[in-house]
Amino acid sequence: MAKTYEPIATTTGTGSAGDITFSSIPTTYTDLVLVANIFTTANANEVMRLNGDTGNNYSTTSFYGDGTSALSSRASNNNVMIFQNEVFSASSVSALTVFNIMNYANTTIYKTVINRSNQANRAAETHVSLWRNTAAITSITISGATFTTDAKFTLYGIKAA
């Protein structure tokens, strides 16, 4: 059977202000998985946009636990997709996030992204987000902070038989 979990691209932060962008993503896979090991220069919320869409076309349902309490929250009609609540900058502790971008090239459906995130010294959280657009996803932009050179982002494609 065909091997089907393939790396598409990897990038890192530079320590300067700016977004992380994967563009010209091929539409030949079934799902995308983005693995992010995030280090930032300051505390910040991390967000994602798809295909450069800056409209209020995103919504997110989340739960979160910090070792003391747990909560669930929602953001509707938002202009970003929230995936990490306030990464705390720390030189030795990263925020780990794995995104699953389901059926990203299917032009019949709105796109759902489900991710789990954690910061070992702070919290664990999970988010499911909707992008109300049927377009195939060809670019992913991550922003919200200045990413240090230790921040690493790798995009994979999974192709179903």
- Contact residues for another protein, defined by CB under 8 A: 1-14, 16-26, 30-31, 33, 35, 59-65, 70-74, 76-77, 100, 102-103, 106, 108-110, 112, 114, 116, 126-130, 132, 134, 141, 152, 154-156, 158-161
Distance CA 119, CA 105 (A): 31
Report in angstroms how near the CB of residue 59 gets to another protein at its nearest.
Answer: 4
90 vs 102, beta carbon nearer another protein: 102
In the complex, minimum distance from the CB of residue 18 to another protein, in angstroms, rounded to a whole number = 3
Residues 96, 37: contact at Cβ < 8 Å? yes
- Provide DSSP, 56-68: S-EEEEEEEE-SS
Minimum distance of another protein from residue 35's CB (angstroms)? 6
In the bound complex, what is the minimum distance in angstroms from residue 90's beta carbon to another protein?
A: 21
The residue (of 71 and 120) whose beta carbon lies closer to another protein is 71
Q: Which two tokens stand for residue 42?
A: 């300051």
Which is closer to another protein, CB of 92 or CB of 160? 160
Q: How far apart are CA 76 and CA 114, in angstroms?
A: 16
CA–CA separation, 51 and 148 (whole Å): 24
In this structure, the chain runs to a length of: 161
